[in-house]
Amino acid sequence: MNSILLKRCMMIILLLLTLYSFPVYSQEPELTEEVYFRPIETVITAGRTEQSIERAPATVTVISSEEIQASGALTIPELLRFVPGIDVMSISSSHSELNARGLNQLLSKKMLVLIDGRSVYFDFFGGVIWQGLPILLNQIDRIEIVRSPGSALYGANAFSGVINIITKTPRQLRGGHLQIQGGENGTLYTSAIQGGWEGDTEYRFALGTRKINSFKDPEVSSEDVALGNFYLEHRFKNETRLSAEAGLSRGHIIQIVRIEDTKFEATTTFAKVNLDHGTFKLQAFWNRGDQTGGAFFPPGDDVDILYNTFDLDAQHILELGKRNTFIYGGTYRFNTIDSNIIDKDHEQNLAAVYIQDEFRPLHEVSLLAGARVDRHPLVGVNISPRGSVIYSPTDHHTLRFSVGKAFRNPSFTDSYFQLTTPLDPLVVGVPGLELKLVGEPDLESEKITTYEIGYMFFPSYRFRTEVNFFRYNFKDYIGFSEKKQEGTTFIQSYVNLGKASADGFEVSADIIPLRWLKMSSNYSYQNLNNDYTVLKTQYPPKHKANLKLFFNLPRGLSVSFLTSYIDKINWEIPTPLGDYAETITDAHTRCDGKIGYLLEKKRIEFFISVYNLFDSKDKEYPFAEEIRRRVIGGFNYSF
């Protein structure tokens, strides 16, 4: 189907769904499939405390475990593709990058990702290596996506937003769960999870594998990872809970770091302890990564990276009367890095304190203000304030205005990178030339200020619609300078390049017109004025639209259909000589689907899922693979 025609059709469907659903909310709820489709009504990520989604101080989208299962997705980025305002690009069959509201790029660095409150941000390059996360899709309870600055509560790197992946408790799991799925491109994903409890002690164990081959060469492995994690919790009689968990993933993945595919052999490990006593929370975690990869700039040397992150976070919530909730806390982080592509081994000590106050002078009004002060050994002190005014004239309508500032600290490579590599004489035409890349310790943090106006209409679980307008100003972008020549050496260093501004809006609707059918649709518009890249030519897609249909039919049959339209993108890409060039990826549409069949009192499900149903062969990044169709089959068994 023509992309322009499909985009128009999806926008018409969005409008019709919104108009059609207004009279539906007055119906009484059914007691069958509506449980399956019921939306999440409380969130914790936006305000760092549990609150209704209508009163959240930021734009939040939630993906439930039921939707995760129904979608047929293999990875978390595949799920996030259909969230309004989130840009996702598939680099290969396993490698994806994502960010919010036009800030996506290769090695995307501007969105904080948490798993149960533990940061999985990779401090060496910055960003998240999604293939390396030691978590299984079917152990996720929900994913909360905050699309606005979060530094006032979460500090550095919560720049364009926060994604919090929240796992199922042992009591939610209630037994064992086995899943096996496999098919084209050598795909084989397995998982085994067991959850239960004995008295006041709960436990959860999970093991899994992920294996998939390249789209461009089906004989080459793109990802082959084994992983496991466990969780233990004990509840004491005085409202105290103590939990401990740990996990590990090990194997190889393929990523594009600059221009060519790079294979990494990696082991990532984590351990975490949480102590909750009433409204006081204490969390300590350790992240460790040990990886070896091919040369980023062939024919240079292989790359070795070893990092450790130790983090301590304390938070206390005070209810100052019935109308005032006050949160205060502090964090300390210690990072170590050992790598052959930085000048020497480094350590960093980072500390922060934060406060937030929510005052409700009237039942209809919430006033929220907060700020965080972070200290970094290189950039000094950053202050991140934010504020929100939330007005709900009735239980069904909510209007929100918010403003906030956020920042991203320079990564270790931004500050300390040091790599010299020979240039291929067949490419440059002259023998004996080399390229030297160096970091800059005196960089400024990247900074963003965002303004939002949001409106939500949520009369019942059968219908919810939301529209959000935003504008942000972004400065001190960190990137490579133009190259300079000294003799036979070309030199590039990290610099603060410039600024940008953007504005746009997102509109979404979730509708259940029939007890066995859920429709979700959204449209995003974003316009960015670029003054922050070298050639000032990179622009995100202006138009994006998504449509999701979930059918929960009689006799155990379920069907899902998901489609996503992405407008063209202007890219500014590096060249083998260290220069930059401009190119475009075309507008395109992706369609996914799943058919499932439940039997044996809903203990066994057989399913077939299809990724890129029409085999569109699009590229979402200039150096990426053409995305091909993938058909897989599998089963879930609960016992």
Report the C-alpha gap between 522 and 37 in whole angstroms. Answer: 17
- Asked if 423 contacts 433 with a C-beta cutoff of 8 angstroms, the reply is yes
Nearest to 119 by CA among 373, 289, 290, 357: 289
pLDDT score for 5: 44
User: Average per-residue pLDDT in the chain?
Assistant: 89
pLDDT of 217 > 90? The answer is: no
Backbone φ and ψ of 25, nearest 5°: -65, -15
Band of the pLDDT at 9, cuts 50, 70, 90? very low
Question: Look-up: residue for tokens 């009504």?
Answer: 41
pLDDT of 15 > 70? The answer is: no
Q: What is the mean pLDDT of residues 13-19?
A: 42
pLDDT score for 19: 37
Report the C-alpha gap between 470 and 251 in whole angstroms. Answer: 41
pLDDT score for 552: 92
Cα separations in angstroms, 71 against 548, 596, 631? 9, 10, 14
Tokens representing 321 are: 């009367």
pLDDT of 60 > 90? The answer is: yes
pLDDT tens digit string along 75-100? 999 999 999 999 999 999 989 999 99
pLDDT score for 534: 84
pLDDT of 576 > 50? The answer is: yes
End-to-end CA, the chain: 44
Other beta carbons less than 10 A from residue 399's beta carbon: 13
Report the C-alpha gap between 123 and 106 in whole angstroms. Answer: 16
pLDDT score for 40: 67
- List CB contacts of 199: < 8 A, sequence separation 6 or more: none
Nearest to 61 by CA among 466, 634, 528, 426: 466
- Asked if 255 contacts 262 with a C-beta cutoff of 8 angstroms, the reply is yes
SS3 of 345-403: the string is CEEEEEEEEEEEEEEEEECCEEEEEEEEEEEECCCEEEEEEEEEEEEEEECCEEEEEEE
In the chain, the amino acid numbered 532 is Y
The strand pairing partners of 355, in sequence order, are 328, 371
pLDDT score for 498: 86
pLDDT tens digit string along 131-149? 889 999 999 999 999 999 9
Band of the pLDDT at 124, cuts 50, 70, 90? confident
Q: What is the mean pLDDT of residues 462-472?
A: 95
- Asked if 562 contacts 548 with a C-beta cutoff of 8 angstroms, the reply is yes
pLDDT of 10 > 70? The answer is: no
Report the C-alpha gap between 16 and 10 in whole angstroms. Answer: 10
Helix or strand run (H / E) with residue 252: strand 240-256
pLDDT score for 238: 84
pLDDT tens digit string along 343-364? 999 999 999 999 999 999 999 9
pLDDT score for 482: 81
pLDDT score for 36: 57
Q: What is the pTM of this model?
A: 0.92
- Asked if 385 contacts 354 with a C-beta cutoff of 8 angstroms, the reply is no
- Say what percent of the chain tops pLDDT 70: 93
The dihedral through the CA atoms of 20, 26, 32, 33 has a sign that is positive
pLDDT score for 435: 84
Backbone φ and ψ of 471, nearest 5°: -145, 135
> In the chain, what's the furthest Cα-to-Cα distance?
78
Other beta carbons less than 10 A from residue 171's beta carbon: 12
Report the C-alpha gap between 211 and 206 in whole angstroms. Answer: 17
Band of the pLDDT at 26, cuts 50, 70, 90? very low
Tokens representing 183 are: 């098919």
Number of domains in the chain: 1
Q: Parallel, antiparallel, or unpaired: how do β-strands 517-531 and 543-552 relate?
A: antiparallel
Other beta carbons less than 10 A from residue 623's beta carbon: 16
Helix or strand run (H / E) with residue 3: helix 3-21
pLDDT tens digit string along 513-565? 998 999 999 999 999 998 888 888 889 999 999 999 999 998 889 999 999 99
Write out the residue range of the structural domain in which residue 509 sits: 3-638
pLDDT score for 39: 67
pLDDT of 11 > 70? The answer is: no
CATH assignment of the domain containing 301: 2.40.170.20
pLDDT of 27 > 50? The answer is: no
Other beta carbons less than 10 A from residue 268's beta carbon: 24
Backbone φ and ψ of 96, nearest 5°: -135, 155
Tokens representing 413 are: 């490579």
pLDDT tens digit string along 364-419? 999 999 999 999 999 999 999 999 999 999 889 999 999 999 999 999 999 999 98
- Asked if 163 contacts 154 with a C-beta cutoff of 8 angstroms, the reply is no
User: Collapsing DSSP states into helix, strand and coil, what is residue 244?
Assistant: strand
Nearest to 261 by CA among 217, 211, 216, 296: 296
How many CA atoms does the CB half-sphere of 307 hold within 13 Å? Answer: 24
pLDDT score for 502: 95
pLDDT tens digit string along 318-337? 999 889 999 999 999 999 99
